[in-house]
Amino acid sequence: MKPLLEALHIKKKFQTLTAVDDISLHVAPGECLALLGPNGAGKTTTVEILEGLQSPDSGTVKLFGQDMTPRSKRDLMQRVGVMLQETNLYKKLTVKETLSLFRSFFKQGLDVQQAIQIVQLEDKQNARLEELSGGQKQRAFLACALVNEPELLFLDEPTTGLDPQSRRMIWDLLDKEKGKGRGILLTTHYMDEAEYLADRVAIVDHGKIITEGSPEELIRQYCGEQVLSFSFEDTDARHENLLEENLAWFKQVKKVQNRYEFIAQNLVSAIHDLTQATSKLSLKLAGIEMRRSTLEDVFLTLTGRSIRDA
Ligand SMILES: Nc1ncnc2c1ncn2[C@@H]1O[C@H](COP(=O)(O)OP(=O)(O)OP(=O)(O)O)[C@@H](O)[C@H]1O
């Protein structure tokens, strides 16, 4: 299948800071690619280059098989939907008026009423944007992005700051749109969002894609499926030193509050090692549990940092 979007070797510097450092990516019809990375990783700059809002210093962008140039951009953008981040630009307009405005930018597309129905805002269509909740506002912006029935959707952090229920509702709406064959390029720093929506995830750090694959592939490749999480009734720095001496993998554990987490390639032998070491050192385990690895663990394995702390 021909890609809807293809970017090759994109670079962008701001003075001495390299915000985007040789990024290449593609999105096929019906596919969602997520750029996942911490704040400042270069995701927004990348997306703005792909949307034609910023020019790259070097590299090429093709939309629907055509080079994006200042001349071709206008026509190409007729086939693209961009979901705005929270903005106060149109806060005095109602949902219906905002959608009519967006609809007027495009030659073809949905009726305003159809767009309102898709995002389930019928009962709020006459409300001003400033009167909507965060989740309703994001759904209104999603309707704006869908009003021209785009083949490709750009979503920059679509659910940042929303409560779990509103996030879930946006995810379900986006999943349906993907099912209609639309390609989606999503940026997010939420692992669960990338895991839920993305067919492929490109992990971005310091302007580079450091790895790419389906969430399952990345987890299998870098983490194994399981994380062993444990805590002691009583530990201090001295105990931690002893554990380092007696437990080969203890140097690799991550401390999360009073728990220790270890990404275990072989869970059975990790549990065996742990119980042997604790009984030798007369330490009492307060709890031991296993959880599924996540993309957060992949990021941690690759960078030594957590996405949130990075
Ligand atoms: N116009 C600009 N001038 C100077 N520096 C910029 C500009 N835009 C972005 N940057 C810098 O480039 C880097 C990448 O920023 P960008 O917004 O692309 O990251 P991001 O991954 O989208 O982060 P966030 O999740 O916080 O939006 C950051 O260090 C940022 O400060």
Distance CA 136, CA 162 (A): 10
In 126-277 the beta strands, taken as DSSP E runs, fall at 152-156, 183-188, 200-205, 208-213, 226-232, 254-256, 259-264
- Mean pLDDT (the chain) is 90
The residue that leads in pLDDT, 293 or 117, is: 117
Task: Return the pLDDT at 267.
Answer: 85
Task: Return the pLDDT at 39.
Answer: 86
Q: 62 forms bridges with which residues in the sheet? A: 6, 67
**Ligand 1, residues 11, 16, 17, 49: which to mutate, most atoms within 8 A of Cβ?**
17
The pLDDT tens digits for 215-243 are: 999 998 887 778 899 998 877 777 888 88
Atom of ligand 1 nearest to the CA of 44: 22
The pLDDT tens digits for 100-132 are: 999 999 999 999 999 999 999 999 999 999 999
- Report how far ligand 1's centroid is from the alpha carbon of 222 (Å): 27
**Closest to 134 in 3D by CA, of 116, 171, 154, 159:** 159
189 lines ligand 1 (CB under 6 A): yes
Task: Return the pLDDT at 88.
Answer: 59
14 lines ligand 1 (CB under 6 A): yes
Mean pLDDT value of segment 11-33: 96
Q: Where are the domains of the chain?
A: 5-214, 226-292
Q: 219 forms bridges with which residues in the sheet? A: none
Q: Is the dihedral of CA 206, 210, 213, 216 positive or negative?
A: negative
Q: 277 forms bridges with which residues in the sheet? A: none
Query: How does residue 307 score in pLDDT terms, banded at 50, 70 and 90?
Result: confident
What is the percent of the chain with per-residue pLDDT over 70, rounded to a whole number? 97
Atom of ligand 1 nearest to the CA of 42: 18
Q: Which amino acid is at 202?
A: A
Q: What is the DSSP secondary structure assignment for residue 93, as one 8-state letter?
A: S
Task: Return the pLDDT at 189.
Answer: 86
Burial class (CB in 10 A: 0-12, 13-18, 19+), 236: exposed
DSSP string, 7-58: EEEEEEEETTEEEEEEEEEEE-TT-EEEEE--TTSSHHHHHHHHTTSS--SE
Q: CATH for 5-214?
A: 3.40.50.300
**Angle of CA points 181, 184, 187, to nearest 5°:** 165
Task: Return the pLDDT at 284.
Answer: 87
Mean pLDDT value of segment 11-18: 95
ipTM of the complex: 0.95
Question: Phi and psi (nearest 5°) for 36?
Answer: -110, 125
Distance CA 31, CA 27 (A): 6
Distance CA 33, CA 47 (A): 12
Residues in Cβ contact with 55 at an 8 Å cutoff, skipping those fewer than 6 apart: 49
Residues in Cβ contact with 239 at an 8 Å cutoff, skipping those fewer than 6 apart: 232, 281, 283
User: How many other C-beta atoms lie within 10 A of the C-beta of residue 233?
Assistant: 9
The pLDDT tens digits for 182-201 are: 999 999 888 899 999 999 99
Query: How does residue 202 score in pLDDT terms, banded at 50, 70 and 90?
Result: very high
The pLDDT tens digits for 51-98 are: 988 999 999 999 999 999 888 888 999 999 998 665 656 788 999 999
Query: How does residue 310 score in pLDDT terms, banded at 50, 70 and 90?
Result: low
Q: What is the DSSP secondary structure assignment for residue 158, as one 8-state letter?
A: T
For ligand 1, atom 25, name the residue with the nearest CA: 39
Q: What's the CATH fold of domain 226-292?
A: Alpha-Beta Plaits (3.30.70)
The pLDDT tens digits for 239-262 are: 888 889 999 899 888 887 788 988
